[in-house]
Amino acid sequence: MRLNMAAVMLPLALAACAVGPTLDQRLSAYIGRSEGDLVAGLGVPLRSYETEGRRFLQFEQRSTIAVSQPDPFFWGPRYSVWNVPPASFAEVSCQITFALREQRVESFTLNGQGCR
């Protein structure tokens, strides 16, 4: 019976670890698409710039993440195992810039701590 249970649990455990496509993979789908498709999918860009026959559109993605708690041995006298410090959060952002030529997405670049 244990062998059968392991045979069932292993695929479930592996499926729980599965994650969706990365940000690079999701944005790569826009390569070769029109500027209209890009704006329809991501919304209106924050900034745009044109030079030498190319157009650059910048988008920004912001999210809040939980920051790991400090080591309990260094919490000091205010904290103990029963008096846990409050949760900490930080806002991170990712600037996404698409380069377009002849109204088609040519490439993109990512910049920031929130680019995942």
Residue ranges and CATH numbers for the domains of the chain are 21-74+85-111 (3.30.1450)
Secondary structure (3-state) at 38: helix
CA distance 47 to 56: 8
Averaged pLDDT score across all residues of the chain: 81
Alpha-carbon gap, residue 47 to 53, rounded angstroms: 17
pLDDT tens figures, 94-113? 999 999 999 999 999 999 98
| CA–CA gap between residue 20 and residue 16 (Å, rounded) | 11
Q: Is the predicted pLDDT of residue 20 greater than 90, yes or no?
A: no
How distant, in Å, are the alpha carbons of 31, 36, 103 from that of 100? 9, 11, 6
CA dist., res. 72 & res. 69, Å (int)? 8
